[in-house]
Amino acid sequence: MSQDTTDLSLAVQALWTACGETAPAGDELAAAATTFRKALEVGRKIPRVTDKTFQPLVGPRRDLEL
């Protein structure tokens, strides 16, 4: 098991425990660590917007009411 996977496994365990749940173990923990890594990769691929006033598109679509 690589250091990266070990670190992510520890993070997974901490996250589940913080949710008040029993953390996965064994193969399930290893799979969760892999999923965690993929989720972080997905997030890194999302471009960032430098304009701080550009807000996320959430809730009712007022743009569609015009």
Partner 1 sequence: MQNEEEMGALAEAGTDPAALSVAEASRRIARGEITPSALLDAVFARIDAVDSVIHSYLRMDRDAARKHAAASDERAANGTLLGPLDGIPFAVKDNIYTAGLETTGGSRVPQHHDPDMTATLVTRLEAAGAILVGKLNTWEYGTGTGAVHFDLDAPPSRNPWNVAHFTGGSSTGSAAAVAAGTALFAIGTDTGGSVRLPAAACGLVGLKATFGRISRHGVMPNCWSFDTPGPLALSTEDTALIYDTIAGFDDGDPVSLSAPVEPTLPGLKNGVKGLKVGFVRNLDPGGAAPEPAILDALSKSAAAFAELGAEVIEIDLPIAPSEYRAIAMPINRAESFSIHERDYLEHRHLMGRSLREKLDMGMYLRAADYLAALRQRRALVARTDEIFAEVDVLLLPMTYRVAPPIHDNPAVVSYTAGSAGSPFSLSGHPALALPAGFSPEGLPLSVQLAAGFKNEALLMRAAWALEQVLTPNPMRAEPQHILSTAARAGE
Interaction between residue 14 and partner 1 (CB under 8 A) = no
Nearest C-alpha neighbor of 23 from the set 34, 35, 12: 12
* Interface characters, 22-41, with partner 1 (x: CB under 8 A): ---------xx--xx-xxx-
12 within 8 A of 29, measured Cβ to Cβ: yes
- What's the DSSP call for residue 55? -
Of 27 and 44, which CB lies nearer to partner 1 in the complex structure? 44
Instruction: Rule CB under 8 A: say whether 57 interacts with partner 1.
Output: yes
Quote the least distance from Cβ 12 to partner 1, whole Å.
8
